[in-house]
Each structure stands twice: as structure tokens, then as C-alpha cells.
Amino acid sequence: MSRSADESVLSPAASASLSAAAPPPATVASSSTVDIGPVMMRLRSARVVVPILSLIGIPVIWAIVAATNMLGTAVVSPAATVRELHSHWSVLWLNAQPTLIATLIGAAVLLAITAVGALIVALVPRITPGLAALSVVIGTLPLIILTPILSLFVPRGRPLVATVCVLAGLVPVAAMLSGMAGVGERGRDELGALYGTSRLRWWRYVGFWQTVPVLDIGIRAMIPYCFVGSIVAEWSGASTSFGLGEVMTNSLFSYEPTLLWATIVLAAAGSLSLLAVATLIMSPLRRRVR
Amino acid sequence: MNTDMGLRVDRVSYEYSSGRAARVPAVDDVDFAVGHGELGVLVGPSGCGKSTLLRIAAGLIAPTKGRITFGDTTPDELRKRRRVGFAFQDPSLLSWRSVRRNVELPFDLAKLPTDSAWIDELLAIVGLSDWADRKPRELSGGMRQRVSLARALATKPDLLLLDEPFGALDEITRGELNLELLRVLSATKTTCLLVTHSVDEAALLGDKVVVLSKRPCAVKLTYDIKIDRAERGESRDTVELLEHCRAIRSALAS
């Protein structure tokens, strides 16, 4: 009883009457649609209020701790830190650049690993448990011990910092790929099997889009993590002369707490800026699957 | 392919095997037939194996014993020819696709050219023409189920399988969608097998009601209901339909 493609099962009149029976969007919107407005408002306000409170609260607590000397004189006030940041800006910015460049190189390598890994995981899901195990193994290795070992094989300076940065970012990447594999397969045993869809086709039309929330969180976590990885690598001797980690080490050992705090503030600002960039890059995809 | 004889479930049994554990029987010697263009309803307690039976009918799993035929073909063959439609209990609509693109999904998954005229007609049949460009999050639960139903019908299936599609809906929406389903099936002349655990729904919708026992499900009663589809909306509270409900309930309780 196969019907031809252009065969109509309803007369135009019947179709029209059924369409007419359907409630118009404008009238139904208030009664039939799920009203998620108040919930979304609460979530949005929580998303805005928490960072604002943190931005206000942390400097206030920091100022109180510095003013009361409860943790000793090594805690410099926020005002003194900002002054130091301003007066040493050219030196700090000069040192921030190699850290940022190494981070961007590391992040680019990790994004390429994510793209290739996501496709491999989608086509060969059997390797997913291995990825989860890999993320645990890499995660248990203290990052700081990697630098001296890697310095035996990778030249110090940008290549070594970027390598440690990639290794630091592998933990969220492996965890992200593992999560993506599980989410991307959702529904494949039903809809995919019903229509005899290949793994690649499923990934293209459904799987990839289902994994966007995981990808979004993973990339937003990975990029600031890479920045921290670069700083730790420099701190532990991977850089040759420049880098925020290098400045932190020098200011610590020459007892310049104000410069150390200024570097920490710059590193935090850099990390937050990278998070903002990652959020901005991911926002079109995030909006599409919302 | 001749499908005029409808669906024949011939002494079908199914056992799950879970690793080294003993095989678990889910379906036991089930035997019934649903005529071409008819609506068969499987009614039974939760977890009795109704959905398993539906998956066998879809050709997604093979029975351990017995066979299912649809006309002169098997469910697996029918599925490979994209002639089976399946609406799941959870509509599982894709949030990034509009209503229209969700209904078109089977064409993308099955690598078939999209039949836009038919999609327009389907959206009109399920009363969602004005909502075609909206996203699933803008729809109510009943509307999402209508999209799911339209998606199941997108490839013009010969056999439509519905796994408790209205189970999560409120009584009023469910009642509306029951009548809508009858209207859609009358319009498309599709043979349909529906799973429910609502006796009222079974009696209202079914041309044939198959009452199943607890797990492993076996047929307790096969019950024919001879009420014209066009009159079913009005027959909802008639003595005749209540009698059918009583007969099904007593079979379930026996």
C-alpha cells in the first residue's frame, strides 16, 4: 500500500479544516506553552549575581585581611597591588605575552585533539572507557613533575611551556570526549536503528548537536586550565627568561610581595579574559541548541 | 511487497540475555493479528514486555522463537525499506531543530530526499502548520507529542508503532490526542500497533485490543471492538464502550 510521494491523503478542504481547527499561536501561547520565564529569570539572575558578588566580595575580604594584618605583612592591600600593576605594567605585560602565546598554542593543539577525538569517539565508541581512564591517569600526575621530565626531551622555552600546557589541558579534554561519547549516542539505538543511520550520519545530524552542552562546558574549563598550566610550567622552570610564572618565582625569592600580588591579579584577569573569549566563541552554538 | 494482510504475530517469544546471568523471558508465545489499516492496542501491566514486543515488531530486535510478518514481508525487511514509523514514549525532539526540521529528521537519517509537500500536509494534519518554525521548547507537551507523531509518519510508513505516546500527558490533552490519532490514521490508512496501560484509551482507540499478562507477557484475551472510527469521539461515554472497558479490565484482573 505504498503511496506515491505526491499523493495527498487529505483533501485540500479537509486539510484546511484541520488547520483551521488548530489553535493560532497567538491565542495558545499563553495557555498551552510551557511558561519557563520565571525559572529562566531566576537562573539568569543567579548567573549574574554570583559573579558580581564575587567581584565585589573578594577585594573587600582581601582589603580587610590586608588592613588587619591577620595573615602577616605578605598580604598587600588591593590598592597597593593595583598601583604596582600600573607602575610595572610594561614589564608585566612583556612577561604576560609569552605565557598567553604558549597558552593559545596549547589551546589550539587541544582543540584539534578535541575535534579529531570527538570524531573518533563517535565512530569507535568502544574506546570511550579508555579515554575516561586516560583522563584519570593524567589527572593523578602532578603537573609540576612533568616539566623536569619533559625538559629532557623538549627544548626549554615556548615549546616546553606549550607542551606542559597541552598535557594540563588533556585532563578536561579526555573527560569531555568521554562525556561527549555518551551524550552523542543517546537515541541512536531507537531513531538511528529505525532508519538504518550510519554512525557518521547520526553524528552529523544528531550526535554532534547533542554534545554541544558538554563541548561548551569542556572548552570553557579547558582554556583557563591551559593558562594555569602554562604559568605552572614557567614557575617550575620551563621558560628561559620571560613569563608570568617566571615573574612570580623571581618576586617570591627576592621578597617583592607587591609585585607577586600584581602578577597574581594579572594572571587572574588573563584567565577570566580567556574564559570570556571561550564563552563568546561558544555562544552561537550554545544558543542554537538551547 | 504486499501488506494487505496486515500484521501477524505468530507465537513470538523473547528472552533477554544479560552476560553470564540466566536468560530472562520477556515475551511468551504471543499470538495475534491486526488487519490492514486497523489499530491494534497492546494493554497490560507496567514492565510486562509490551515495549519489547513493539521493538520486535519494528525489526529492532529479533524474537527468540516465532515470527512476525507484515503482509508477505518481515519487520526487518520493512524497516530496511523505511516503511516503519515509531513514536516513543518520550518525544525526544531535537531542541536545535524547528518543528518542521524535527518532522523532516527521518529523511536526513535515512538519506532520503525530503518530501516537502508531504511535510506541509502532515503538519496540517496534526494541526501544527502555524508552529512549523518554532522550536520544541516553545511547545506544550501535547504539541511535542503531535510533532513526534508527525515525525513517525514522515516517511509514509506502512506500519506505525506507538509506545505509550500519550502516557505522560494530562487527561484532557490525552483525550484530544486520542481523537486526533484516530483522525490521522483514518487519513493515512496506516496499520498501527499502540502500547498503553490505560484501559479507557485501549477501548476508545483499538479495533483490536490484546490484553497481556504480567511479565513474561502472554496473551490473556484478544478483543475486537466494532465501533466506526468517526463515531468514537461521541461513543466515549456510551454504555457500549463502558462494556468494552469492563471486559478488558476483567481480563487484566483475571
Is the ipTM, as predicted for this complex, more than 0.90?
Answer: no
| Interchain pair A8, B121: CB under 8 A | yes
Overall average pLDDT of the A178-199 stretch: 85
Instruction: Give me the domain span that covers residue A130.
Output: 95-289
Quote the minimal CA–CA distance from A284 to chain B in Å: 12
Do residues B70 and B158 make contact, with C-beta atoms less than 8 angstroms apart? yes
Cell numbers of A274, please?
Answer: 580567556
CB contact under 8 A, A202 and B125: no
State the CATH number of the domain containing residue A278.
1.10.3720.10
Whether A247 is in a domain gets the answer: yes
Check if B170 contacts A (Cβ < 8 Å).
Answer: no
Q: Is A215 part of the contact surface with chain B (CB cutoff 8 Å)?
A: no
Read off the pLDDT band of A191 (50, 70, 90): confident
Query: Among the listed ranges A10-14, B36-40, B87-91, B159-163, which one has the minimum average pLDDT value?
Result: A10-14
Cα(B154)–Cα(B97) distance, integer angstroms: 15
| Chain A residues touching residue B122 (CB < 8 angstroms) | none
A142 vs B221, more confident: B221
H/E stretch holding B39 = strand B39-43
Q: Classify residue B34 as left (phi > 0), alpha (psi -120 to 50) or beta.
A: beta
- A225 assigned to some structural domain: yes
Residue B108 and residue A205: Cα distance in Å, rounded?
A: 7
A253 within some domain: yes
More confident residue, A205 or A188: A205
Residue B83: list chain A partners with CB under 8 A.
2
Instruction: Express each pLDDT in A14-62 by its tens digit.
Output: 343 333 334 444 433 444 455 556 666 666 677 778 878 888 898 899 9
Residue type, B60: L
Q: Which three cell numbers stand for residue B210?
A: 490484546
Task: Establish if A199 touches chain B: CB-CB under 8 angstroms.
Answer: no
Interchain contact A17–B (C-beta under 8 A): no
Mind listing the pLDDT tens digit for each residue in A198-232?
999 999 999 999 999 999 999 998 888 899 989 98
Chain A, window 152-171: residues with a beta carbon less than 8 angstroms from a chain B beta carbon: none
Contact A24 B130 (CB under 8 A): yes
Whether residues B96 and A289 touch (CB distance < 8 A) is answered with yes
d(CA A181, CA A118): 7
Which of B109, B114, B123 should be substituted to probe chain A, the one whose Cβ sees the most A Cβ atoms within 10 Å?
A: B109
Per-residue exposure over B33-44, b if at least 16 CB sit within 10 Å of its own CB, e if not: bbbbbbbbbbbb
Chain A residue with Cα closest to B151: A191
Q: Does the residue A41 lie in any domain?
A: no
Alpha-carbon distances of A128 from A1, A122, A204, B142, rounded to whole Å? 44, 9, 19, 37
Q: Do B96 and A288 touch (CB under 8 A)?
A: yes
| Residues A38-71: b if buried by 16+ CB within 10 A, e if exposed | eeeeeeeeeeeeeeeeeeeeebeebeeebeeeee
Q: Judge whether A40 lies within some domain.
A: no
Considering only residues B19 and B245, tell me which one the structure prediction assigns the higher pLDDT. B245
Burial of residue A162 (CB within 10 Å: 0-12, 13-18, 19+) is buried
What are the grid coordinates assigned to A248, written together? 612570580
pLDDT surpassing 60 at residue A179 = yes
Average pLDDT value for residue range B217-243: 79
- Residues A125, A180: Cα–Cα separation, whole Å: 10
Of A135-149, A219-233, A273-287, B49-63, least confident by mean pLDDT is A135-149
| 3-class DSSP state of B238 | coil
Q: Closest partner residue to A10 among B36, B110, B125, by Cβ?
A: B125
* Contacts by residues B18-23 (CB-CB < 8 Å, ≥ 24 positions apart): none
Q: Which of B108, B117, B127 sits opposite A19 (nearest CB)?
A: B127
B33 φ, ψ (degrees, to nearest 5): -140, 145
CA distance A66 to B58: 71
Mean residue pLDDT of chain B comes to: 87
Of B109, B125, B128, the CB nearest to A197: B109
Determine whether A75 is exposed, middle or buried from the number of CB atoms within 10 Å of its CB (0-12, 13-18, 19+): middle
A196 vs B115: CB contact, 8 Å cut-off?
no
B117 close to A (CB below 8 A)? yes
In angstroms, the CA A172 to CA A138 distance is 10
State the smallest CA–CA distance between residue A221 and chain B in angstroms.
23
Q: In the sheet where B7-16 sits, what is the strand order? A: B24-34, B7-16, B65-70
Q: Which residue is associated with the grid cell 552476560?
A: B19
β-bridge pairing B191-196 and B159-163: parallel
pTM of the shown model: 0.76
| pLDDT confidence of residue A186 | 82
Q: Which residue of B has its CA nearest to A210?
A: B94
d(CA B161, CA B238): 28
Beta strand B208-212 pairing with B39-43: parallel
- Establish if A34 belongs to a structural domain: no
* Min Cα separation B199/chain A (Å): 26
Enumerate the residues of chain A whose CB falls inside 8 A of the CB of residue B125.
9-10, 15, 18
pLDDT of residue A144: 66
Q: What is the pLDDT of residues B177-229, one digit of tens each?
A: 888 888 888 888 889 999 998 888 898 899 999 999 888 888 988 888 887 77
Quick one: average pLDDT of A144-170? 84
Count how many residues are written for chain A.
Answer: 290
Tell me whether residue A160 is in a domain: yes
Rounded percentage of chain B residues whose pLDDT exceeds 90: 35
H/E run at residue B84:
strand B84-87
The per-residue pLDDT for range B143-168, each reduced to its tens digit, is 898 899 899 989 989 999 999 888 77
Strand order in the sheet with B159-163: B84-87, B159-163, B191-196, B39-43, B208-212, B219-224
Percent of chain B's residues with pLDDT above 70: 95
B47-69 in b/e form (b: 16+ CB < 10 A) is ebbbbbbbbbbbbbbebbebebb
Is A57 a member of any domain?
no
Distance CA B242, CA B239 (A): 5
Question: Could you tell me where the beta strands, DSSP code E, fall in B135-246?
Answer: 159-163, 191-196, 208-212, 219-224
Lowest mean per-residue pLDDT among A131-140, B62-71, B93-102 = A131-140
Helix, strand, coil percentages (3-state) for chain A, rounded to 5, are 80, 0, 20
Residues of B in Cβ contact (< 8 Å) with A18: 124-125, 127, 183
Among B96, B103, B120, most A C-beta atoms within 10 A, so best to mutate, is B96
Domains of chain A: total? 1
Mean pLDDT of B33-51: 89
Nearest chain A CA: its distance from B8 CA (Å) = 16
